[in-house]
Each structure stands twice: as structure tokens, then as C-alpha cells.
């Protein structure tokens, strides 16, 4: 009901509570189910065994009721669980994708935009690797308004490696900080999932 009441702002949408059998004609299914991080002391990898057990049941049911549907994985640790889902499922591996580092990239751009006082849409910078503690920033490709942040003076500021390292650490630690503050993450990953779904 709460979601349905937002239709005025997003357009006419059917919102129902259903079961696996209601998924037979869907094009995309987003999986966000799983055990959650309880605090910053829980790493994404601590969730792995608990969430693989949960995924085994979910994927088997989806294979039965929606075998041709594209699955988008958003549960942590997302990269490993995407691979696990590909191994568990009978569907083609290209029918199972994860949110990857899109959320990390969005956080990174937002923080760089705040630092330089520019719209994050003008920031082109990427986080690659695994969504999690081993992710890496690609400084050599980071630009704002087409200018390299490593080589150009932007908004009166030259590249400061120490400050950039702090921004990257804020990016990498963002989920832990949000979990400590409100117990879970949901808003930014929801926007990321919407972006991915619209791409299809």
C-alpha cells in the first residue's frame, strides 16, 4: 500500500504482494533477500555462507516458476552471490547479473562532487573490482567536466593524493557507516537498481 500511494509521482503502476507463482511472466526479477550486516564489524564476506543457503532455495524456486527471466542480484556479497546464483541456476549465466560496483561508483562521484563543489553528474570516475573491501578507484581516468583531476586545477584545487585517498576510504566505508547510523542501506542501492532495470 505504501508503495502504491506514490503512483502520482511515478505513473500508474501495479503493486502487489505475491508468491513465486506470480513471477512466471516477468522480464526482470531483483533479488535483494538475504541476511543483513548487523554492524560495521560484519563484513560483506561474513554474510556469504548464510546468504548462499538462502539463495539455493530462492534460485531453485525461480528456475521452476520463471526460468527465462533476467535476475539482478543486489544481496551482499553481491559479486560472489551473483557467481553462486549462476552456478545454482539452470538458466544461462548471462541471465544473472549483479549490481557490481555501480553503487560504489555513485558514492565515489557524489563525494568527489561535494569536494569540488560540482554536480556529481559532471564527475566521471569509476570504482572497479569487487563491490566491497577490495574495490579500487581508477584515478587515471577520473575527470570533471572533461578535465583530469590528476592533471588539471579544478574549481581552484589541484590534485591532493591524501584528500583523494580519504574520499576513497569514505566511499569504501560508506555502507558500514550507514549501517551504524540507521541499521541498513536502501536508498542509494534502490536508485542503482532502478537505473539497471531501466537499461533493459
Whichever domain contains 149, its CATH number is 3.90.110.10
DSSP secondary structure string, 9-48?
HH---------GGGGTT-SEEEE--S----STTS-GGGGH
Domain limits at 181? 102-199
Sign of CA dihedral 100, 83, 198, 174: negative
Intra-chain end-to-end CA distance of the chain, in Å? 26
92 shares a domain with 108: no
pTM of the model: 0.88
Q: DSSP secondary-structure letter at 128?
A: E
Residue 129, helix vs strand vs coil: coil
18 shares a domain with 78: yes
pLDDT tens-place values along the chain, 200 residues long: 888 888 888 888 888 889 999 999 999 999 999 987 666 566 667 788 889 999 999 999 999 999 999 999 999 899 999 999 999 999 999 999 999 999 999 999 999 999 999 999 999 999 999 998 899 999 999 999 999 999 999 999 999 999 999 999 999 999 889 988 998 889 999 999 999 999 98
145 shares a domain with 73: no
* Nine-digit cell string for 149: 583531476
pLDDT tens digits for 38-84? Answer: 665 666 677 888 899 999 999 999 999 999 999 999 998 999 999 99
Residue 71, helix vs strand vs coil: strand
Residues labelled catalytic:
131
Decide which of 73, 98, 123 is a domain's last residue. Answer: 98
| Continuous H helices in the chain | 7-10, 48-65, 78-88, 102-116, 161-182, 187-199
128 shares a domain with 92: no
Amino acid at each position: 500500500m505504501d508503495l502504491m500511494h506514490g503512483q502520482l509521482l511515478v505513473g500508474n503502476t501495479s503493486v502487489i504482494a505475491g508468491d513465486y507463482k506470480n513471477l512466471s511472466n516477468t522480464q526482470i526479477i531483483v533479488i535483494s533477500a538475504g541476511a543483513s550486516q548487523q554492524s560495521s564489524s560484519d563484513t560483506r564476506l561474513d554474510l556469504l555462507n548464510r546468504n548462499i543457503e538462502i539463495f539455493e532455495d530462492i534460485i531453485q524456486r525461480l528456475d521452476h516458476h520463471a526460468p527465462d527471466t533476467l535476475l539482478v542480484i543486489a544481496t551482499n556479497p553481491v559479486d560472489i552471490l551473483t557467481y553462486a546464483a549462476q552456478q545454482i541456476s539452470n538458466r544461462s549465466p548471462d541471465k544473472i547479473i549483479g549490481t557490481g560496483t555501480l553503487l560504489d561508483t555513485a558514492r565515489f562521484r557524489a563525494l568527489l562532487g561535494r569536494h569540488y563543489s560540482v554536480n556529481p553528474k559532471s564527475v566521471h570516475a569509476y570504482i572497479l573490482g569487487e563491490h566491497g573491501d577490495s574495490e579500487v578507484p581508477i584515478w587515471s581516468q577520473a575527470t570533471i567536466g572533461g578535465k583530469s583531476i590528476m592533471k588539471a586545477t579544478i574549481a581552484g584545487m589541484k590534485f591532493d593524493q591524501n584528500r583523494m585517498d580519504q574520499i576513497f576510504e569514505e566511499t569504501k566505508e560508506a555502507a558500514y557507516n550507514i549501517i551504524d547510523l540507521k541499521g541498513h542501506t536502501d536508498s542509494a542501492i534502490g536508485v542503482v537498481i532502478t537505473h539497471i532495470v531501466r537499461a533493459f
